[in-house]
Amino acid sequence: MIRFDNVSKSYPKQNRPALRDVSLEIEKGEFVFLVGSSGSGKSTFLRLILREERASHGMVHVLGKDLARLSNWKVPQMRRQLGTVFQDFRLLPNKTVAQNVAFAQEVIGKPRGEIRKAVPQVLDLVGLGGKEDRMPGELSGGEQQRVAIARAFVNRPMLLIADEPTGNLDPQTSVGIMKLLDRINRTGTTVVMATHDQNIVDQMRKRVIELEKGRLVRDQARGVYGYQH
């Protein structure tokens, strides 16, 4: 599903590379936590998977494709198989819940009938049935994140990338979100989640990948968050 071979990434005007010689593989259906302090390279790792950045050295394979050799115009096709969730939800404030989710299908040209069927279905899945016509501003943080997850999942991606999805939420709400991500993972979708949330990582006991100053320092099946952070 995802394979990094000796991947390094340095940004111009920065002495220290953001990622240094990272090699790892993530299989289909896995649930992986990505941990590490700020500036450890988590975001760069995710951006490389999304092909928002290209690796300076080494090879990144996502969904069986070598991203270095993927031409620009094929990137959108690749991204349609990925779902993305962020800490700040990134909903459109002037669209309703249903419209926000439908937006992800409209802009890739899905037929209207399909959208009408898929949107209520995915909203039910995330536990927002009956709130289709609410505006994002009327929802709690947890509910807004559920909308964002619904939008990321509505196109049934193979891989869900979550960048600190519980970063803005209280512990109880976070647990609900994690349950939802777990349920999505059980449908066969690979989930890669960057997080700072120690409790969640310790409770879930999933694979943990730890980055430190751009290096891969730990790759542990059924791991915990770690102690020093």
Partner 1 sequence: MRAQFVLSEIGVGLRRNLTMTFAVIVSVALSLALFGGALLMREQVGAMKDFWYDKVNVTIYLCSKNDAGGGAAGAPASGSCAKGAITPAQKDEIKADLNDLPVVEKVYFETADEAYKHYKELYGDSAIASIITPDQMQESYRIKLKDPEKYQVVSTAFAGRAGVHSVQDQREELETLFQMMRGMNVAALCVMALMLVIALLLIVNTVRVSAFSRRRETGIMRLVGASSFYIQMPFIMEAAVAGLLGGVVACGLLLTGRYFLIDGGLKLEETMPVVNFIGWDAVVSVLPLVLVIGLLMPSLAALVALRKYLKV
Quick one: which of 28, 54, 90, 186 contacts partner 1 (CB under 8 A)? 90
CA dihedral 207, 211, 216, 217 (to 10 degrees): -80
CB of 107 vs partner 1, minimal distance in Å? 4
> In the complex, what is the shortest distance from the CB of residue 75 to partner 1, in angstroms, rounded to a whole number?
8
- When asked if residue 221 is in the footprint of partner 1 (CB under 8 A), the reply is no
Counting residues that bind partner 1 (by CB under 8 A) gives: 26
Amino acid at 69: R
- Paired with 60 in beta bridges are 4
Contact flag: residue 92 with partner 1 (CB under 8 A): yes
Among 104, 160, 177, 192, binds partner 1 (CB under 8 A): 104
SS3 73: helix
Nearest to partner 1 of 57, 80 (CB atom): 80
> Does the protein bind partner 1 through residue 209 (CB under 8 A)?
no
The reply to whether 84 sits near partner 1 by the rule CB under 8 A is yes
Close Cβ partners of 215 (under 8 Å, ≥ 6 residues apart): 20, 21, 22, 41
Query: Rounded to the nearest 5 degrees, what angle is found at the Cα of 206, between the Cα atoms of 201 and 207?
Result: 105
Report the site for partner 1 in 114-143 (rule: CB under 8 A): 115
Q: Is-contact 32 42, C-beta < 8 A?
A: no
H or E segment and range at residue 101: helix 97-106
- Closer by beta carbon to partner 1, 26 or else 104: 104
Q: Is 108 in the site for partner 1 (CB under 8 A)?
A: yes
Torsion of CA 175, 176, 181, 186, to 10 degrees: 100
In the complex with partner 1, the residue whose CB is nearer, 121 or 199, is: 121
Residue closer to partner 1 (CB basis): 31 or 153: 153
Residue matched to tokens 């890669």: 192
How far is the C-alpha of 114 from the C-alpha of 154, rounded, in Å? Answer: 11
To the nearest whole angstrom, how small is the minimum distance from the Cβ of residue 160 to partner 1?
12
Q: Which residues bind partner 1 (CB under 8 A)?
A: 50, 72-73, 75-82, 84, 90, 92, 103-104, 106-109, 111-112, 115, 151-152, 155
